Chain A
């Protein structure tokens, strides 16, 4: 079909996003669940609490730590990823660094905020889904943030959509097939602004194409933010109504 991607989307369409807050009934302070297409991520946040080790004590701010768990069944092949897996550690550092600058850590000195992310199913855009899930869980935990952090992916399509010889539009929110096929990047922005807090790309791309990819990614972040904000408001309203009864 003309102009459609392998899953029937157009270049600027997101996959279905479903998100939920307060999903965990355990003693996590905040929790969330997000589905972006077939990428499914569960996130728990605990804290601010006493740091688990003395090394993590900072006198003037809270320490943000992150744990990422890949379910062995989450990918196409059954792979167990341990704590020392490079991919796990990279994700952990990326999430931890992103949120260290977004959480108002100076309000909680000598304490620790732990974000633990469980990846249940991978279908492209894992990092983006993890960041989105963590934002929701932190909001659920009532931890003060500067603003929402929303992440989205964009890929440089190789096919030519228009016959006029113009360069093809980048694809928004790539799935696993696309991700393994074409160069893609993950962008995370802060709130309404178009300021980028995290940017990650692992494939080779011509520098001229980069700008369009980032621009499409940022527009995706805005869409994701709208969806997340709607859910947060719905959840908040529901909670207030439940209290009122």
Chain B
């Protein structure tokens, strides 16, 4: 594909998805429907005129969960400070990730196109994260009517990933002031069983690390985008991997101290009296902290949470790295000789 700098910005949009023709996973996931319940929920929204509220948790259920917490027990048998198992799976294309934490499931997809840069930032590419929650995830989400969670989530991802400069935007520049890559992360929330924030963050980071940009050569005025079959696409320059860890404060332990639970389920989220999201990377840099309102907590406890988050993130970071490596190996297994050529660790 050859591109010349075009006179009109409106004609500048060359969507460049390098997906294989067989895959159109976003609209049509090849896996069976993620959650049989979600089909019912769509209908539920269809019939009711006003926004359905999340069903309130019953008193018996509440007492059960809180009493169990007093004995350091959780309903699903996990430890207080343990995550559910994080399952990562990748699509056929680069930059397509499916993350599951228990019953919570989020899809992330990265796409890139070439655009004209903003005039005040001529040598920086752009990166946007789009999050939209529909009734697919939970009956209380409605398309076009963002909830509080929606706002919090998009702001948190923005602060955690964009503001902490996880992605080197200058590396997305092709020709200064003329052409830059515009990256977009689309998040799809398929089912909601608590902890959407952490799941969405893991999904975005993994998808960014998995994504490959096609190679571009610039000679004079001409920009050539090399198709995947011609040149091995290159990974993005991610400076660090910020990962969100959300603590939910609910109930009291035997000493009357507030209990902070990690990776809360929807049930625990409905009962919590406060929450705090800490974004850390594996180097121990805190990128963002947000605790707005909720139960008042001693500074000591918050610091403990932050340190614990830093520990947890190291594990999650390793898990993502392993999953990415495994995927890369599986991807190169076939007789894709053109992929091997670009590698240094091929068997010779």
Interface residues, chain A, CB within 8 Å of chain B?
Answer: 55, 86, 89-90, 93-94, 96-101, 185, 189-190, 193-208, 210-211, 214-215, 218
Q: Contacts A204-B285, A207-B310, A210-B306; is A86 near B293 (CB within 8 Å)?
A: no
Query: A8 CB to closest chain B CB, in angstroms?
Result: 29
Contact of B292 with A194 in the complex, beta carbons under 8 Å: no
Could you tell me the distance between the alpha carbons of A168 and B152 in the complex, rounded to whole angstroms?
33
* Residues of chain B in range 270-292 having any CB-CB distance to chain A below 8 Å: 273-274, 276, 280, 284-292
| Contact for A210 among B148, B164, B303, CB less than 8 A | B303
A101 and B286 contact, CB distance less than 8 A: no
Find chain B residues with CB under 8 A from A99 CB: 293
Contact of B289 among A190, A201, A208, A211 (CB under 8 A): A201
Chain A-chain B contacts (Cβ-Cβ < 8 Å), number: 99
Residue of A nearest to B158 (CB): A86
B290 and A207 form a contact (CB under 8 A): no
Which segment of B60-68, B99-107, B191-199, B294-302 sits at the interface?
A: B294-302
Q: Check A204/B287 contact, CB under 8 A, given A89-B151, A100-B293, A101-B294.
A: yes
Q: Kindly report which residue of chain B lies nearest to residue A101, judged by CB atoms.
A: B293
Structural contact, B155 and A90, CB atoms closer than 8 A: yes
B159 within 8 A of A: yes
Closest B residue to A190 by beta carbon equals B296
Residue of A55, A185, A210 most packed against chain B (CB within 10 A): A210
Give the chain A neighbours of B164 by CB distance below 8 A.
204
Interchain CB contact under 8 A, A206 and B285: yes
- Say whether B289 contacts A207, CB under 8 Å: no
Asked whether B15 is an interface residue with its Cβ less than 8 Å from the other chain, the reply is: no
Q: Which of A197, A202, A218 interacts with B293 by CB under 8 Å?
A: A197
Assess the B294–A207 pair: CB atoms within 8 A.
no
Collect the chain B residues with CB atoms within 8 Å of residue A190's CB: 296
27 A–B contacts, CB within 8 A, in A order: A86-B158, A93-B148, A93-B292, A94-B293, A99-B293, A101-B296, A189-B296, A193-B296, A196-B296, A196-B299, A197-B293, A199-B290, A199-B291, A200-B289, A202-B159, A204-B164, A204-B287, A205-B285, A206-B285, A207-B306, A207-B307, A210-B286, A210-B289, A211-B299, A214-B299, A214-B302, A214-B303
Please give, as numbers and ranges, the residues of chain A lying within 8 Å of B296 by CB-CB distance.
101, 189-190, 193, 195-197
Interface residues of B in 225-253 (CB under 8 A from A): none
Determine how close the nearest CB of chain A comes to the CB of B146; give it in whole angstroms: 9
B293, A205: Cβ atoms under 8 Å? no
- B residues near A, CB below 8 A? 50-51, 148, 151-152, 154-155, 158-159, 163-164, 273-274, 276, 280, 284-299, 302-303, 306-307, 310
* Least Cβ–Cβ distance between B169 and chain A, in angstroms: 16
B280–A207 touching, CB < 8 Å: yes
Instruction: Give the residue among B51, B163, B288 with the most A Cβ atoms within 10 A.
Output: B288
Q: Kindly state the separation between the CA atoms of A44 and B203 in the bound complex, as whole angstroms.
A: 41
- A209's closest neighbor in chain B, by CB? B286
Closest CB in chain B relative to A131 CB, distance in Å: 10
Q: Closest CB-CB distance, A130 to chain B, in whole Å?
A: 12
Contacts of A96 in B (CB 8 A): 293
Is there contact, CB below 8 Å, between B151 and A90?
yes
> Would you give the shortest CB distance from A216 to chain B, in whole angstroms?
11
Q: How far is the CA of A206 from the CA of B287 in the complex (A)?
A: 9
**Complex partner residue of A101 from B285, B295, B298, B299, CB under 8 angstroms:** B295
Contact A194 B294 (CB under 8 A): no
A101 to B296 Cα, complex, angstroms: 8
- A195 and B297 contacting across the interface, CB-CB below 8 Å: yes
Q: Pick from B286, B302, B306, B307: contact of A204, CB below 8 A.
A: B286
Establish whether residues B158 and A206, one from each chain, have CB atoms under 8 Å apart when the complex forms: no
Is B151's CB under 8 angstroms from A93's CB?
yes
Q: Complex Cα distance A123/B298, Å?
A: 29
Apart from A185-B289, A196-B297, A207-B306, list 10 A-B contacts with CB within 8 A: A86-B151, A93-B292, A101-B295, A194-B298, A198-B291, A198-B292, A201-B290, A204-B164, A204-B286, A211-B299
The 5 closest A-B pairs by CB, nearest first: A97-B293, A195-B296, A98-B293, A94-B292, A201-B289
Q: Nearest chain A CB to B50's CB is how many angstroms away? A: 8
B119 to chain A, nearest CB (A): 16
**Contact A195/B291 with A86-B155, A93-B148, A207-B285 known, Cβ cut-off 8 Å:** no
Q: Which residues of B contact A196 (CB under 8 A)?
A: 291, 296-299, 302
CB closest chain-A residue, reference B296: A195
In the bound complex, residues from chain A placing their C-beta under 8 Å from that of B286 are 201, 204-207, 210
How many Å from the CB of B120 to the closest CB on chain A?
12
Cross-chain contact B293 with A211 (CB below 8 angstroms): no
Q: Which of B158, B276, B296, B310 has the most CB of A within 10 A?
A: B296
Whether A198 contacts B293 by the Cβ 8 Å rule is yes
A208 to B299, CA, bound (A): 14
Q: Which residues of B contact A203 (CB under 8 A)?
A: 163, 287
Give A97 to B272 CA distance when docked, in angstroms: 13
Q: List the A residue with the shortest CB-CB distance to B293.
A: A97
- Note all chain B residues with C-beta closer than 8 A to A202: 159, 163, 288
* A residues near B306, Cβ cutoff 8 Å: 207, 210
Task: Provide the residues of chain B in CB contact with A194, threshold 8 Å.
Answer: 298-299
Task: Note all chain A residues with C-beta closer than 8 A to B285.
Answer: 204-207
Contact B299 A215 (CB under 8 A): yes
Q: Shortest Cβ distance from B68 into chain A, in angstroms?
A: 24
Which residues of chain B have C-beta atoms less than 8 A from A195's C-beta?
296-299
CA distance A98 to B274 in the complex (A): 10
Q: Which residue of B lies closest to A189 (CB)?
A: B296
